[in-house]
């Protein structure tokens, strides 16, 4: 048994069309017509959350929000320019609709629950003010109460979440984290703040700088070694954000707090895709900012672990793993370690044009570094694996200038080597016959 949606006129003299829900012919239950005053003028559906806009017309909140978000600044019914986009709940109509749903008593009509009013910026400002005040006083219990409320409001709707993100809550939370970061008894509160901050991106330079203090960094590094995998994932995400500051002090803190080993363990444990990606990005940032830290990662087996990520990981993970190999190849020690793994060159060549633009850029860059640091056999290996053809395709596809320049340099190196391999490679593919510019 089922029902179908239909349309019918409510009287010959009326032009407004009302939606009708009717059962199939096998049932005797009468048709149900939604009263026009309960219909949203935009969707013509029964309103679940009726709101009044500045022109006095009532719409369903979801429909009018979509209308406004699409760039419209007029009332759909009157075409009058809206003086404000504020939406006031129409409790009278909502109660009438709820009463009608109960009166109908049909399985076709589900009673409309009382909707929650979305969070307003002024309410967020008040939350920030109270949290800042409680933080300055060192009032642990009040801070925890406010943080619990923020978490509750965020879960109610996507609109609430966006309102929280857009109105400065992240910075206040960072200040709160810094205040209690040195207190070992505040672990529960700090863990909750950590969880909230993971979805409040971008946190902003000021907030990240606060988290980059010695006390806060040490605390987050401690969470990275937690027995709770969710906490470890949250800590990895925030540390990755902090390391993006590229400040010498931050990377010194990372070295002091044993972050390298903790990131490696998180990658090895395969806690989650997000945790792995955050860790790989952080590792790249650390190696590029402080090349000497590469030796720490190499000693604990980073290259082999990264190769596994490239082989088994999804594209988004593979992309980050390729960036790690490229970063490691910045140092002579890293290149030496990379050469020990026979799978590296075949994987680098294979992943060109297969993962992403960034992944291709990392592969081309790493191959160039290996060829420059190696001898003729390294270049020959790349040629035999099909790198020459791949570089030519890279130029044709239209990647960034930096990647194109590296691909062109590799083509020149491989062209020279190919002349020495003329017995094995078709001479028609010599570099001199390629069209320019590259």
The pTM for the full model equals: 0.73
CB 194 within 8 Å of CB 230? no
234/330 same-domain check: yes
Residue 435 inside a domain? The answer is: no
Residue 20 inside a domain? The answer is: no
242/289 same-domain check: yes
Q: In the structure encoding, which two tokens stand for residue 102, read together?
A: 């109960």
149/197 same-domain check: yes
| pLDDT for res 110 | 63
Task: Identify the bridge partners of residue 5 per DSSP, sorted by sequence position.
Answer: 21
Domain residues for the domain of 55 are 36-104
| pLDDT for res 246 | 74
Q: What is the CATH number of the domain that holds 56?
A: 3.30.40.10
Give the DSSP per-residue string, 315-337: HHHHHHHHHHHHHHTTSHHHHHH
Domain count, the chain: 4
Q: What is the CATH number of the domain that holds 258?
A: 1.25.10.10
CA 220 vs. chain centroid, Å, equals 20
Residue 12 inside a domain? The answer is: no
Among candidate residues 208, 210, 190, the one with its CA nearest the CA of residue 140: 190
Print pLDDT tens along the chain (438 aa).
333 333 332 333 333 444 544 444 444 555 678 889 999 999 998 998 899 999 999 999 889 989 998 899 999 999 999 998 888 889 899 889 888 888 877 655 666 666 677 888 999 999 999 999 999 999 999 999 999 999 999 988 888 999 999 999 999 999 999 999 999 889 999 999 999 999 998 899 999 999 999 999 999 999 999 999 999 999 999 999 999 987 778 888 888 888 999 999 999 999 999 999 999 999 999 999 888 888 999 999 999 999 999 998 899 999 999 999 999 999 999 999 999 999 999 999 999 999 999 999 999 999 999 999 988 889 999 999 999 999 989 998 878 899 999 999 999 999 888 777 665 545 444 444 444 433
Residue 375 inside a domain? The answer is: yes
Q: In the structure encoding, which two tokens stand for residue 68, read together?
A: 């406004």
Rounded to a whole number of angstroms, the distance between the first and last alpha carbons of the chain is: 66
Residue 3 inside a domain? The answer is: no
**Which residue bears the tokens 């160039």?**
368
The whole-angstrom separation of Cα 65 and Cα 77 is 15
Domain final position from 211, 235, 267: 211
* Three-state secondary structure readout of 340-395: CCCCHHHHHHHHCCCCCHHHHHHHHHHHHHHHHHCCHHHHHHHHHCCHHHHHHHHH
Residue 320 inside a domain? The answer is: yes
* Neighbour order of strands in the sheet with 32-33: 3-9, 17-23, 32-33
| pLDDT for res 7 | 31
């Amino acid at each position: 048994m089922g029902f179908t949606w239909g349309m019918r006129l409510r009287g010959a003299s009326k032009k407004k069309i009302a939606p009708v829900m009717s059962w199939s012919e096998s049932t005797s239950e009468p048709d149900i017509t939604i009263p026009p005053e309960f219909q949203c003028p935009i969707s013509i559906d029964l309103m679940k959350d009726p709101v009044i806009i500045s022109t006095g017309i009532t719409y369903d909140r979801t429909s009018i929000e979509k209308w406004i978000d699409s760039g419209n600044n007029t009332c759909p019914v009157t075409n009058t320019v809206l003086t404000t986009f504020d939406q006031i709940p129409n409790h009278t109509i909502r109660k009438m609709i709820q009463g009608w749903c109960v009166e109908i008593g049909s399985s076709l009509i589900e009673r409309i629950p009382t909707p929650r009013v979305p969070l307003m910026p002024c309410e967020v400002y008040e939350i920030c003010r109270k949290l800042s005040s409680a933080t300055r006083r060192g009032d642990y219990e009040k801070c925890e109460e406010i943080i619990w409320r923020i978490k509750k409001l965020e879960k109610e709707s996507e609109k609430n979440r966006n309102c929280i993100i857009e109105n400065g809550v992240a910075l206040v939370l960072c200040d709160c984290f810094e205040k209690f970061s040195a207190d070992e008894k505040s672990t529960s509160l700090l863990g909750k703040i950590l969880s909230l901050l993971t979805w409040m991106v971008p946190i902003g330079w000021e907030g990240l700088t606060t988290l980059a203090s010695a006390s806060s960094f040490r605390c987050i590094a401690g969470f990275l070694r937690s027995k709770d995998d969710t906490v470890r994932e949250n800590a990895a995400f925030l540390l990755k954000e902090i390391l993006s500051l590229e400040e010498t002090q931050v990377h010194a803190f990372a070295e002091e707090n044993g972050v390298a080993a903790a990131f490696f363990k998180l990658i090895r444990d395969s806690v989650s895709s997000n945790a792995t990606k955050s860790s790989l990005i952080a590792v790249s940032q650390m190696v590029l900012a402080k090349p000497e830290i590469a030796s720490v990662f190499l000693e604990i087996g980073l290259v082999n672990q990264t190769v596994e990520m490239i082989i088994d990981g999804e594209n988004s993970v593979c992309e980050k793993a390729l960036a790690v190999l490229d970063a490691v190849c910045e140092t002579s020690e890293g290149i030496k370690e990379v050469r020990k793994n026979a799978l590296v060159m075949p994987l680098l060549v294979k992943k060109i044009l297969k993962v992403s633009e960034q992944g291709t850029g990392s592969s081309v860059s790493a191959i160039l570094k290996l060829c420059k640091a190696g001898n003729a056999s390294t270049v020959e290996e790349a040629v035999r694996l099909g790198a020459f053809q791949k570089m030519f395709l890279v130029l044709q596809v239209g990647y960034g200038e930096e990647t194109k320049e590296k691909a062109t340099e590799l083509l020149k190196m491989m062209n020279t080597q190919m002349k020495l391999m003329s017995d094995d490679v078709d001479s028609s593919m010599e570099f001199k016959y390629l069209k320019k510019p590259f």
